[in-house]
């Protein structure tokens, strides 16, 4: 590992510096004369003889204890300095010596501070025989144990350091190995437990079908949901909005959509999860719910909502780049209506389904399926109608959806409307007039249904613009595109929709005799929805 190599390198450098410093503190290798006897001449590099008067002047010093082999009468010569050293030997006796110091490094040695362990002082001078008069003094003794300045102590210190580093390295390696083995055992144990909840080979469709047939109809069991969420592999981000991000994920090779909510949007996540897990909520024209879970990483919390993945994206994206014929238009409008109808439908029974209003229906919250139909998504603002009265007669809403109550508008006046407690609001562009002017009766559930139908009428208008009729095709635009800016405020939408009572224009080609009957009928439906 890289950090181990760094530690070993640093330790080697430390040992080298310690040994080098100890060697540098012993100047004996420099306390030597030049080996030139007095009166002898020097030879140049070319071999010619240089007369004594032409040679550089050498200093004569008194030597005692550090005399070179060619010294005469305790005299040596050097091109450096004369020195005198007083030091204390290992037996505590004081020894005064003197001699010649070479020029190289003489300044460094002469300016060295007195050593305390072992006690030693050096003085230098630069005149002939000046070191006879030098009287260096020893530094005062310390109470420190002499052992700390000995070679034995240095060896002991190095040994302890090496052993300590080795022990630390071994401990770290053992810790990480133990941690890795523990994680592996836990992973294997969790995999065995996961297989108990989700057998190998089970697909999402198998799990959901089994849950629908043998469960309560409110979705997969909680442990199965948490197991799926834990096994999801995030592939890439495919969308981002005010609530959080949408990722493409994989579970056992199957593509899923993972909606990751911001932590501040926990109320929205909770509400959408609650709505999706409503009994008998699953429908082919409502986005298929798979699982929901909360993942904590220690520093932040991730709120996951896992649903079916539709690669064609939203109806908004689809209409911008795709043209429709009459059949495709009918298919889209009908499938969206069936999904909305199922939401609005109240189903009675031992485990019935409450009526639900979307409150944020728009083309960006409707997803395109591969078969040319669509499904309604984003239920974070939905409201539920919890009825406590006795069941009444049922009536058919549309062939592909369950039956609903045939009660009148007054039924909501005596029953509970479950409104989500979050700070999010709908999209201003698609808000009904009664929402914009704040005249909507919040305790009257039918009012929420009518607001959804108004939004659905605007979605029909978007679809119809992209349908080719009479050889004419209009570019995709949002409702009220020519009346308000891209991100209109409440005041701007209220001015247009409530004060001026303006609605998106109905194209003349929709009323043409050449148009198919269905387009004309859709235009009529839109007019009724837009002008209730």
The binding site consists of: 259
Partners of 99 in the beta sheet? 83
User: How many Å apart are CA 98 and CA 65, to the nearest integer?
Assistant: 6
* 107 belongs to the catalytic site: no
DSSP per position, 26-92: -GGGT----SPPTTPPEE-TTS-EE-TTTSPP-EEEE-BEE--TT-BTTEEEESSEEEEEEEE-TTS
User: How many Å apart are CA 249 and CA 256, to the nearest integer?
Assistant: 5
Give me the phi and psi of 395, to 5 degrees please: -140, 155
Q: β-pairing, 94-101 with 244-251?
A: unpaired
Count other C-beta atoms under 10 Å from residue 447's C-beta. 19
User: How many Å apart are CA 315 and CA 496, to the nearest integer?
Assistant: 25
Count other C-beta atoms under 10 Å from residue 114's C-beta. 16
CA distances from 30 to 105, 431, 493 (A): 8, 96, 95
> Of 509, 525, 497, which is closest to residue 468 (Cα–Cα)?
509
DSSP per position, 277-290: TSTT---TTBPPEE
> Of 372, 283, 361, which is closest to residue 330 (Cα–Cα)?
372
Active-site residue identified among 293, 360, 378, 452: 360
Q: Which residues contact 320 (CB under 8 A, 6 or more apart)?
A: 476
CA angle, corner 298, sides to 293 and 303, nearest 5?
25
Task: Give the tokens for residue 135.
Answer: 């009287």
Q: Which residues contact 237 (CB under 8 A, 6 or more apart)?
A: 245, 246, 247, 248
Task: Give the tokens for residue 365.
Answer: 């919250």
User: What's the DSSP call for residue 25?
Assistant: T
Q: Are 429 and 372 in contact (CB under 8 A)?
A: no
Partners of 260 in the beta sheet? 245, 304
Binding-site entries for ATP: 259
Task: Give the tokens for residue 239.
Answer: 């969308």
> What burial letters (b/e) apply to 11-45, b meaning 16+ CB within 10 Å?
eeeeeeeeeeeeeeeebeebbbbbebeeeeeeeee
Task: Give the tokens for residue 423.
Answer: 């700070």
> Of 121, 114, 117, 119, which is closest to residue 144 (Cα–Cα)?
117
User: What's the DSSP call for residue 499?
Assistant: I
Catalytic site residues? 360
């Amino acid at each position: 590992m890289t950090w181990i190599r760094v530690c070993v390198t640093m330790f080697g450098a430390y040992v080298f510096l310690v040994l080098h410093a100890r060697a540098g503190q012993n100047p004996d290798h420099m306390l030597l004369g030049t080996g030139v006897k007095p009166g002898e001449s020097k030879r140049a590099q070319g071999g010619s003889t240089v007369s004594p008067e032409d040679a550089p002047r050498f200093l004569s010093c008194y030597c005692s204890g550090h005399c070179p082999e060619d010294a005469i009468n305790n005299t040596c010569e050097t091109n450096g300095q004369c020195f005198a050293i007083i030091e204390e030997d290992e037996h505590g006796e004081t020894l005064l010596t003197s001699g010649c110091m070479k020029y190289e490094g003489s300044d460094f040695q002469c300016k060295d501070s007195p050593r305390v362990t072992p006690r030693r002082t050096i003085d230098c001078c630069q005149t002939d025989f000046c070191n006879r008069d030098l009287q260096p003094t020893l530094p005062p003794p310390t109470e420190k144990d002499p052992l700390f300045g000995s070679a034995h102590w240095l060896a002991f210190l190095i040994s302890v350091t090496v052993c300590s580093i080795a022990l630390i390295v071994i401990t770290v390696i053992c810790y990480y190995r133990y941690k890795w083995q523990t994680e592996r055992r836990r992973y294997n144990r969790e995999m065995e437990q996961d297989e108990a909840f989700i057998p190998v080979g089970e697909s999402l469709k198998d799990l959901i079908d089994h849950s629908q047939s043998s469960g309560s109809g409110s979705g997969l069991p909680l442990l199965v949901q948490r197991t799926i969420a834990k096994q999801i592999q995030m592939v890439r981000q495919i969308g981002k909005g005010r609530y959080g991000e949408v990722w493409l994920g994989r579970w056992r090779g199957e593509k899923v959509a993972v909606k990751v909510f911001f932590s501040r949007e926990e109320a929205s996540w909770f509400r959408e999860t609650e709505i999706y897990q409503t009994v008998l909520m699953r429908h082919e024209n409502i986005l298929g719910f798979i699982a929901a879970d909360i993942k904590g990483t220690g520093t932040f919390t991730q709120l996951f909502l896992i649903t079916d993945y539709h690669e064609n994206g939203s109806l908004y994206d689809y209409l911008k780049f795709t043209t429709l014929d009459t059949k495709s238009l009918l298919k889209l409008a009908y499938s969206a209506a069936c999904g909305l109808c199922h939401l609005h439908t109240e189903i009675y029974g031992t485990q019935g389904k409450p009526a639900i209003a979307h409150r944020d229906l728009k083309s960006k919250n409707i997803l395109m399926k591969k078969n040319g139909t669509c499904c309604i998504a984003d239920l974070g603002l939905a409201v539920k109608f919890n009825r406590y009265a006795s069941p009444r007669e049922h009536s058919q809403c549309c062939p592909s959806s369950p039956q609903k109550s045939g009660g009148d508008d007054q039924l909501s006046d005596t029953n509970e409307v479950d409104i989500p407690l979050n700070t999010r609001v709908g999209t201003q562009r698609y808000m009904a007039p009664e929402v914009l002017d704040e005249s909507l009766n919040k305790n009257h559930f039918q009012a929420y249904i009518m607001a959804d139908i108004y939004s659905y009428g605007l979605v029909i208008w978007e679809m119809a613009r992209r349908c080719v009729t009479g050889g004419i095709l209009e570019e995709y635009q949002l409702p009220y595109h020519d009346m308000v800016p891209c991100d209109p405020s409440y005041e701007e939408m209220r001015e247009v929709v409530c004060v001026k009572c303006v609605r998106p224009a109905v194209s003349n080609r929709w009323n043409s005799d050449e148009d198919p009957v269905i387009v004309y009928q859709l235009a009529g439906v839109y007019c009724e929805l837009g002008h209730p």
